[in-house]
Amino acid sequence: LIPLFVIIGSGGIGAGLYLMRLALFNPDVSWDKKNNPEPWNKMSPSDQYKFYSVNVDYSKFKKDRPDF
């Protein structure tokens, strides 16, 4: 039973860490509505906010949208 508890425990810890990462670093989530109400407008095209991207070099992206 010990390997079962280890596997289930590590899966639960991994899911909790991933949810914490989404809550803290995702540009769609805004915890501070007074100072930064729209954090997605502060993201530059070269910022990687996806957890995993296949064969995408974000440093070569150019800004193609206006500043608001």
pTM of this prediction? 0.53
Dihedral in degrees, nearest 10, Cα atoms 40, 43, 47, 51: -10
How many CA within 13 A on the CB side of residue 16? 6
Residue 24 tokens, joined: 């803290």
Whether pLDDT at 11 is above 70: yes
Domain spans of the chain, in order of start: 1-60
pLDDT more than 90, % of the chain: 25
Q: What is the CA radius of gyration of the chain?
A: 17
